[in-house]
Structures are given as C-alpha cells and as structure tokens.
Amino acid sequence: MTTLPEHFARPHLVDIVVWEGVELLDVAGPAEVFATARSGGVPAFRVRLVTTGAPTVTTQAGVVLQAAGRLGDEAPFLLVVPGGASERAVEDEALLAAIRDAADRAEIVYSVCTGALVLARAGLLAGVPRATTWHGALERLRAEAPHLEVVGDRRWVDHGHLVTSAGVSAGIDGALHLVGRLLGGEARLAVARHMEYADGAPPGHERA
Amino acid sequence: MTTLPEHFARPHLVDIVVWEGVELLDVAGPAEVFATARSGGVPAFRVRLVTTGAPTVTTQAGVVLQAAGRLGDEAPFLLVVPGGASERAVEDEALLAAIRDAADRAEIVYSVCTGALVLARAGLLAGVPRATTWHGALERLRAEAPHLEVVGDRRWVDHGHLVTSAGVSAGIDGALHLVGRLLGGEARLAVARHMEYADGAPPGHERA
C-alpha cells in the first residue's frame, strides 16, 4: 500500500469546469483517472462537473453532461479546465472571472487541450515559462501569451501550481502524471492498469 | 478526400446504451472517436446516449450523463455496449431484451470492457468464436460463454457484426479500428491525429 500524504486521508475535490461545446474526452479522460485513483484503499478524489451557466451542457460529441455544482461554490483542490469551443469560452468574462477565483483557491490548476487558451486569457499563465496545448492551437497560444515557450512535443508540462496538457487524449497522460506526483508511482500504475492504458508514456503518434 | 461507401452520404446513428454505474471512459472514448470521424467533409456519425431506464445516469466516476433517447426508439447503425456495473446490467432483463432487439436491427454491435459480459448474457456472443473484455473479467467471460475463445492480449476482436474490445481505454482503439474499417485508413488517421492518440496501436501497457 502506498504511503499517503496526510492530507489525502479524505477524498479531495476535483472540479472540472464545463461549457457548451466542451470537448467530451478532455473532460472524461481526467475524470476517469482521478475517480479511479485510490489512496489507502479509498478514493483519493471526488470528481464533479461544474458550470457558470446552465447546469446541462452539450459536448462537441453531442453527449449531454449534467453539472453537479457551480464553479466557486466550493474551493477545489484541483481545478481542471478542458478545451473545446475555446473561442467562445475566452470571450465569456463571467467564466474567466470564476476560473481566476477558483484557480486562486485551488492547489493545482490543470488545463487540457485548448483549455490552455482559456487559462491564458484569464491571465493565469503569466507566472509560468512554458506550456502546451492541442497541436492545432500551438500558434494561437503563442499569440495569446507571447512570453510563453509553447512546446509541441510534450504530453504535459508541470509547473507545480500550473499544469498544461496537449490535446484530447493527452489529458489522460497529464492526469496520470498528477496521480503519480500526488500519490506515488504505485497509485499511478494501478490507475493505468485498471484503464488498460500506457503508464503515462506517450502513445506512438507523432505530434504535427 | 476519402472515397465513401454510398451509405455514408448521411450521418449514421451510433447509439451508446448507458445505465447507472456505467464506466465513463467506456462511453466517452467511442463517443469522441465516432463524433470526430468525418466522411466527405461532414460528420460520418450521429452519436446518442440511450437508456432503458431513467434518462440521467451517474457513471462510476460520478459524472452525470443525460440520455438523448430510449434504446430501440430508432434502429442504430452501430450499437455500443460499454462496461461498468455489469453485474447489475446482466440481471436487468428489460435491458438485455432491448439490447437483443437493437442488436438485431444494427449493422454492428460493439462492446467495450465488461460490456462483453452483457452481450454474452443477452446471448449475442453465441455466433462468434472469439472475444475479449477488460483484463479483470476474462475469467468471468469464459465462465459466461464456455464456447468462446476469450483472448487477453488483443485491444479488440472483430467478427464483422460483432466486435469486442478490451478494457476502458481500449474502447478508443476498437472505435478507431471501426472508423478505419467503415471509412478507410485516412479517416481513422484524421481522428487519431485530432485526438493526439496512437493510430490504433496498442499502448505499451502489458495486459495482466
């Protein structure tokens, strides 16, 4: 059994913020990973979807998700910002303000895919030197945050409080990395095995 | 541009049946793949979640999904049967009957993870020689369908009308395979690239 940091004696809140047109797998990959992770034989995380708007959202895949709360009604330990319809999300001032506030109260902020563009617009990437995003949005992220070194050959980039992953399926890899960082390699491996997924190793696909 | 079979001139219905406790990624992986696939520049599939019970279901990850229809209200081109809480699903006679009926009307039936146990209990694996499932359920599937060769070293097994995949993340691989079979390798590769996922190659994780 993995020895746990004391603060994992109870499940920690993972809030995944969703909006109309969010990318389904950006949400579901991390949700699956964090919900599967156990510490001391019990779930390490409690995963919720949260919104700032209507409680149900239709993902780009057409699958409808129902949020369990509103962003900001609790302070999340880990705030996940997925991608999808990011061109609309970056214009939604109420969403950006709520993300800024929740990020301030969260131990870790984790963007998946074009969620990095949302973090950039919210001003949350100002303090980090390096980030990644979906391969189709690398140039957009460079334009959005000129100080950033935007890397296109990493599944995830970890700067402690701020973690960014590459596109869609890479959200699984970054989440597995976070499980390893927070709970140890044995916990990470247990999740990867349950999911029959490579243990955080990049799939063979070459980034464009 | 990929040359299309004539019957893909309009989006084909993919129904993913869900129930209380269904495994989130078993649903979201194939949903993402099929919703992303395009033929002739337009979406090749229309993806719906369907139930036989209440219209909202809570997945094992805690994420709540809202179904768009009832299993059987339309004849799906492709019926996806995910896993999760399969011990309850195999005892649900109404669910099994609806799956049998929809499978009969579907061009392809695709189980992910322990969904193979549900297909077996519904009598739908009687006509195939070989199948796979989640690594933790291989013995249960052998007990459920003694005639089957249950393989534990394949991401998916394709018998035409009946396709089974291994656990959780392998649902993505089987779905990518089906996109390739139905729409060609170029379409499959486009989806894998969009998702930044290996092109149907098994991740490095060794099956237990």
> Residue B92 sits in a domain of what CATH number?
3.40.50.880
In a domain, A51, yes or no: yes
| Distance (Å) from the alpha carbon of A194 to chain B's nearest alpha carbon | 8
ipTM of the complex: 0.92
| Region for residue A192 given its phi and psi (left: phi exceeds 0; alpha: psi -120 to 50; beta: otherwise) | alpha
B167/A194 touch (CB, cutoff 8 Å), yes or no: yes
Name every chain B residue with its beta carbon within 8 A of the beta carbon of A34.
61
A197/B208 touch (CB, cutoff 8 Å), yes or no: no
| Distance (Å) from the alpha carbon of A2 to chain B's nearest alpha carbon | 20
Confidence of residue B198 (pLDDT cuts 50, 70, 90): confident
In a domain, B86, yes or no: yes
In a domain, B164, yes or no: yes
Determine the pLDDT at residue B207.
33
B63/A47 touch (CB, cutoff 8 Å), yes or no: yes
Determine the pLDDT at residue B76.
98
| Distance (Å) from the alpha carbon of A47 to chain B's nearest alpha carbon | 6
A65/B66 touch (CB, cutoff 8 Å), yes or no: yes
Q: Is A46 helix (H, G, I), strand (E, B) or coil?
A: strand
Q: Is the pLDDT of residue B2 over 60?
A: no
In a domain, A207, yes or no: no
Contact call for residues A46 and A13 (beta carbons, < 8 A): yes
Mean pLDDT of chain B: 92
| Region for residue A196 given its phi and psi (left: phi exceeds 0; alpha: psi -120 to 50; beta: otherwise) | left
pLDDT in tens, A6-29: 557 789 999 999 999 999 999 999
The count of domains in chain A is 1
Contact call for residues B81 and B30 (beta carbons, < 8 A): no
In a domain, B37, yes or no: yes
Determine the pLDDT at residue A7.
55
User: Domain of B75?
Assistant: 9-194
Name every chain A residue with its beta carbon within 8 A of the beta carbon of B201.
203-204
pTM beyond 0.90, yes or no: yes
In a domain, A4, yes or no: no
Name every chain A residue with its beta carbon within 8 A of the beta carbon of B49.
63-64
Determine the pLDDT at residue B5.
57
Determine the pLDDT at residue A55.
96
In a domain, A199, yes or no: no
B28/A25 touch (CB, cutoff 8 Å), yes or no: yes
| Distance (Å) from the alpha carbon of A129 to chain B's nearest alpha carbon | 23
Q: What is the mean pLDDT of residues B183-208?
A: 73
In a domain, A155, yes or no: yes
pLDDT in tens, B85-134: 999 999 999 999 999 999 999 999 999 999 999 999 999 999 999 999 99
Q: Is the pLDDT of residue B9 over 80?
A: no
Q: Is the pLDDT of residue B202 over 50?
A: no
User: Rounded CA gap, A135 and A168, in Å?
Assistant: 10
Residues lower than pLDDT 70 in chain A? 1-7, 199-208
